Amino acid sequence: MKFLVLQHINIEHPGIFLKFMKEDNVQIDTIELDENEKIPQLNKYDAMIVMGGPMDTWQEETYPWLKPEKEEIHKFACVQKKPFLGLCLGAQLLGEAVGGKVRKMKTPEIGVLGVSLSDSNSLFKGLNKELKVLQWHSYEVHDLPSNTNLLASSPECKVQAFSSDNAFGLQFHVEQTNDTVPQWACVPEYKSALEKTLGPNALEKFKKDVQDNLSLFNNSARTIYNNFKKILNLRFYL
């Protein structure tokens, strides 16, 4: 199998998913869009993973590579209907690709928080309906078209996860490792959002909360990865 990973900042990578992919001998091509690397031809890839980042979907003038990225995501997920996984910004980019919109939230979600999963969906099969996850976002997907499926919600963000054919968008994070929060807290946009939402001295508690739940996050990530792999394998045999 060969996966294409699109990144928007080098410290926001697939995290523990990288470990799982390497265990499966998945070939991984990583494109660092913020360093002006170009997206290659899509035909040779079996799946695409699009990561988060400190920019927003509407900032095409500041980040001109966002426009071709959106076009390639639409081609891969909506036209070719290949397995796609978008995390945080990656979910928002998918949301626009399938015809939805992205807006600024009234209240940002930052911290270890809960989401409620829908009754039945292939990506979250085997997980508890009430799931603890890492949140760090100020924008959300909304107004999804009728041909998409809502997979998870929270009180502050209705669209925590959704699907369209073989494409899945997760607003939240489960891919984090020991280094995730300390590294992300060095990004000015993330640090500012953290301090505005949780206070200037919130980082240490945030790091502890993540450490206390890291095993749970890793287990959730493993389940999601295995389910995504089943979706990919099923597509091969249809």
DSSP character string of 135-202: EEEEEEEE---TTSEEEEE-SS-S-SEEEETTEEEESSB----TTHHHHHTTSHHHHHHHHHHH-TT-
Query: Which residues constitute the domain of residue 26?
Result: 2-237
pLDDT class of 155 with cuts at 50, 70, 90: very high
User: Considering only CA atoms, which of 127, 129, 138 is closest in space to residue 197?
Assistant: 138
What would you measure as the largest C-alpha separation in the chain, in angstroms? 53
pLDDT in tens, 91-145: 999 999 999 999 999 999 999 999 999 977 899 999 999 999 999 999 999 999 9
CB atoms within 10 A of CB 92: 28
Is the pLDDT assigned to residue 76 strictly greater than 90? yes
- Predicted confidence at residue 236, as pLDDT, reads 59
C-alpha 12/C-alpha 143 separation (Å) is: 27
Confidence of residue 238 (pLDDT cuts 50, 70, 90): very low
Burial (0-12, 13-18, 19+ Cβ within 10 Å), 12: buried
Label residue 234 by pLDDT band (50, 70, 90). Answer: confident
pLDDT at position 235 is: 66
Q: What is the mean pLDDT of residues 63-89?
A: 98
Residue 121 has a CB neighbour count (10 Å cut-off) of 18
Mean pLDDT of 9-34: 97
Strand partners, 27: 2
CATH code: domain of residue 230 = 3.40.50.880
Residue 237 pLDDT exceeds 70: no
Q: What is the mean pLDDT of residues 62-88?
A: 98
Rounded CA separation 223/1 (Å) = 19
| Position with higher pLDDT, 67 vs 120 | 67
What is the number of structural domains in the chain? 1
Instruction: Convert the pLDDT of each residue in 159-182 to its tens digit.
Output: 999 999 999 999 999 999 999 999
Tell me what the pLDDT averaged over the chain comes to.
96
Buried (b) or exposed (e) across 221-235, using 16+ Cβ within 10 A? bbbbbebbbebbeee
Q: What is the mean pLDDT of residues 192-196?
A: 94
Whether 98 contacts 167, CB under 8 Å: yes
Instruction: Take residue 135 and report the two structure tokens written for it.
Output: 């949140």
Residue 48: which pLDDT band, with cuts at 50, 70 and 90? very high
Among candidate residues 106, 17, 219, the one with its CA nearest the CA of residue 7: 17
Q: What is the DSSP string of 35-64?
A: GTPPP--GGG-SEEEE---SS-TT-TTTST
Residue 233 banded pLDDT, cuts 50, 70, 90:
confident
Confidence (pLDDT) at 121: 84
